[in-house]
Amino acid sequence: MDSTLIEIRTGGRETVVDLTREIAEFLRASGAGDGLLHVWVPHATAGLAVIETGAGSDTDLLAALRDLLPADDRWTHRHGSPGHGRDHVLPAFLPPSLSVPVLAGVPALGTWQSVCLVDTNGDNPVRQVRLSFLRG
pTM for the structure as a whole: 0.94
Maximum Cα interatomic distance, the chain, rounded to a whole number of Å? 49
Q: What is the mean pLDDT of residues 119-124?
A: 92
Q: What is the DSSP letter of 49?
A: E
Residue 78, pLDDT score: 80
- Condensed to tens digits (0 to 9), the pLDDT of residues 55-71 reads 999 999 999 999 999 99
Residue 12, pLDDT score: 83
Question: Which strand (E) or helix (H) includes residue 67?
Answer: helix 57-68
- Between 24 and 79, where is the model more confident? 24
Domain 2-135, architecture per CATH? Sandwich (2.60)
